[in-house]
Amino acid sequence: MVIAVLQPTSPPTSAAARLGRTLSRLALWAGLLCAVAAALAGPAHRMELVPLNVALQSVRWAATVAIGGAAVALLAVLLTLGASARGRWRRRARWALVINVAVAAWPLYMFYQLQTLPHIHDISTDTANPPAFDAVLPLRRGAKNPPEYVPATAAEQRQGYPDIVPLQLPLAPSVAFDNAERAARAMGWQVVASAADKLRIEATDTTLLFGFKDDIVVRVMPQGSGSVVDVRSLSRVGGSDFGANANRVRAYLKRVATASGAA
């Protein structure tokens, strides 16, 4: 007697599952290419391989294509939910969705900030008498943003960043200045000038991805038995800083306050 051994067979692949497989493959490749384009845009500009407008356009188009890729990947996920779709197709579709969403998330967040944050690039703790730049002026030659403070900026800053105010310390100005200088160096800034006799510090901070350079001036003044620390951070390029200067000033003042025991 011959006993036939029946091997289990996979269910036939449906047309929807085959379409999902194709879409997941396309979305995955689109997401990977967009991720590479977005990731390399900043470093390429920082290394002076491409101009700024080309780098920004690369990020913008990468985000736009990634949004479409996310929609295609989501459709692929739905099409591969059936029993006839193989497990690796489902995983590929889900990875495609994750990658495309991740690529589009940062530019979309930046766009959201552009719509909600003040359209300014100059932040000062003292908007009535902001610290002026001096030592960094030769480094700012050719910069699109002038070093002079625009009074209209004060109103926008007060509305958008009401927490940016001078730091008052119960310390002698010389001690406060020492803490301020150490904090500036600890922030990774390039200190251009540090004058203990004038209680002033000027420095430049370079952003990580695109290499944007923002200039900072710190001023310490006596106030009663203590002192007050003022900071101004100004971008060299760009109409809006997406909150970068305000975040820098906040982080710096917090560091100085902690070092001075006033946090």
pLDDT, tens digit (0-9, with 9 covering 90-100), for 31-83: 999 999 999 999 999 888 999 889 999 999 999 999 999 999 999 999 888 65
| Separation of alpha carbons 126 and 166, rounded Å | 6
Per-residue model confidence (pLDDT) at position 196: 96
Asked whether 246 and 164 are in contact (CB, 8 A), the reply is yes
Measured between alpha carbons, how far is residue 2 from residues 5, 9, 82, 124 in Å? 9, 21, 37, 91
| Separation of alpha carbons 61 and 43, rounded Å | 17
Q: What is the pLDDT of residues 86-106, one digit of tens each?
A: 778 888 999 999 999 999 999
Cβ neighbours of residue 248 closer than 8 Å, sequence gap 6 or more: 123, 187, 205, 214, 216, 233
122-259 folds as Alpha-D-Glucose-1,6-Bisphosphate; Chain A, domain 4 (3.30.530)
